[in-house]
Amino acid sequence: MKRISIHSAIVAILAGCLLLVAQTDFTGVLTSGERPTIAIPDFRGTGAAAPFMTAFNQTLYQEIENSGAFKMVGKSLMPRNNPQVPTDVRESARGTGYALSDWSGPPVSTNYLTFGYTGVQNEQIVLFGYLYNVLQPQNPQVIGKLYFGPLTEAGAKQVAREFAADILKLMGIEGLAGSKVYFVSSRGGEKQIWQMDYDGSNQRAFSNYRELCTMPSVSNDGTRVAFTRFTPGGPQIMMHTDTGRKLPFLNPPGSLNATLSFSPDGSKVAFASKVSGFSQIHLANADGSGLQRITNTRAIEVEPKINPKTGVDIVFVSGRGGVQQIYRMNIDGANVTRLTSGEGQASNPAWHPNGTHIAFAWTRGYEPGNWNIFIMDVATQKFVQLTRGQGRNENPSWAPDGRHLVFSSNRNGSSQIYSMLADGSQIRQLTGAGRNEMPVWSKQ
């Protein structure tokens, strides 16, 4: 019987065609149904705020578009004029852009309209932001609020994101502003852990060791970051706060300690260790103490992921059946079930925040070594494929909103980090310098 080697397992971790198999509504991922339409004309700025309006308008539009919650009205369809304050909105003035019927009727045909302007108060940029439901002319205002930020381009982006977050809240969607992505980058020479804002901005180094650092993971509350450091004694788990302060972690003796996952409350961790010979799944306290082996096979088993919602089950990668596949088990190691079919190789499972679905990488339908991103309903084992025929796509990780994924791909030559909606649309490249891989999305 063929078994995955420790070399191939580490390569799969480090480096990372069917149509719809089942027409499944993945609850909490992306729901079916008609999305409302929104028109976001360009806002204008007065005085010292004017130079920052390009950044503001781009940010506001992108935040709403990237959410996948609305259909966006093309700006070529919008009236030449648009209101800036509520008193600009008139019952008549048809065709000028100041009547709600100019927006609710063709060619715009929108449900919602944003408008407002920015100015300066007390050396701060201030946004007067409005959202109107143009289909309710008697009481159209949904949002009317002031937002304040520094009088800089960053401040303009800040108020745009805050306004967008309030709009998305109306749809029951948690905005991504404030979330971060940790990832592995070679841009400084030796691979280290880096971090960036959710949209790819503000990229900076997180770890600073002489040895290779890889395989990051983040606690559910975003306050702790774990990763594997290749020390002279072998791969060891390092634990840090999100501010970079090192925390104690008791690594068991062995040539491999890697792929750590946190329990929902952060009190327990699961990880792979070779302390007993073969790489097996172990459970421990948050500092590595109280080690307990929970798998016992003569096969390589890695990448345990504790269910972030329930904390009672784990998905993991194992070669116990030959070629590596994804399995599920209770947190005590009981009731092991194979989730993937046995076709191809499967790796990189990642729980959705709802604890009922996983994203993962799979070679199903392709030659070994060609990976794509899939989503599976764990209970039914029904799945959908998100990426197709564009390089090697691996290491998916869910955003806190449960609607976006981040992943690595070499579709444009070198390995880079991309984001997409959970239906496989709106793919955006987030990194470009060096080689970048193994992203994990953190809520802060």
Q: CA-based angle 316:317:323, to the nearest 5?
A: 155
**What CA dihedral angle connects 158, 159, 163 and 165, to 10 degrees?**
20
Point out the residues of the chain with pLDDT beneath 70.
1-33, 92-94
**DSSP class of residue 322?**
S
Backbone angles phi, psi at 281, to 5 degrees: -85, 130
The 3 state secondary structure assigned to 38-105 is EECCCCEECHHHHHHHHHHHHHHHHHHHHHCCCEECCHHHCCCCCCCCHHHCECCCCCCCCECHHHHC
pLDDT of residue 34: 79
> Where are the chain's structural domains?
6-29+176-442, 37-169
Domain 37-169 CATH superfamily = TolB, N-terminal domain (3.40.50.10070)
Q: Which residue has the tokens 């444009």?
A: 412
DSSP track, 262-283:
E-TTSSEEEEEE-TTSS-EEEE
From CA 240, how far away is CA 213, in angstroms rounded? 13
What's the pLDDT at 33? 56
Nearest to 420 by CA among 123, 29, 16, 22: 29
Strand order in the sheet with 301-306: 301-306, 313-318, 325-330, 337-338
Phi/psi-derived region of residue 84, left when phi > 0, alpha when psi is between -120 and 50, beta in every other case: alpha
Which CATH code for domain 6-29+176-442?
Answer: 2.120.10.30
> Which runs of E-coded beta strand occur in 212-289?
213-218, 224-231, 234-241, 246-247, 257-262, 268-273, 280-285
Q: How far apart are the first and last CA of the chain?
A: 44
- Bond prior to 107 in cis (omega within 30° of 0): yes
Give counts: helices (H), strands (E), the chain.
Answer: 4, 30
Identify the burial level of 388 via C-beta atoms within 10 angstroms of its C-beta, where 0-12 means exposed, 13-18 middle and 19 or more buried.
middle
pLDDT in tens, 199-253: 999 999 999 999 999 999 999 999 999 999 999 989 999 999 999 999 999 999 9
**What 3-state DSSP class applies to 425?**
coil
Contacts by 70-75, CB closer than 8 A, 24 or more apart: 70/35, 70/36, 70/37, 70/38, 70/112, 70/171, 71/35, 71/36, 71/37, 71/38, 72/37, 72/38, 72/40, 73/37, 73/38, 73/39, 73/40, 73/108, 73/109, 73/110, 75/41, 75/42
How far is the C-alpha of 438 from the C-alpha of 259, rounded, in Å? 11
Taking only the tens place, the pLDDT of each residue in 278-291 is 899 999 999 999 99
Strands (E), 108-244: 112-121, 124-133, 141-150, 180-185, 192-197, 204-205, 213-218, 224-231, 234-241
* pLDDT (0 to 100) of residue 169: 93
- Where does 322-410 have alpha helices with state H? none
| Token representation of residue 303 | 């990448």
Half-sphere CA count of 297, side-chain side, radius 13 A = 18
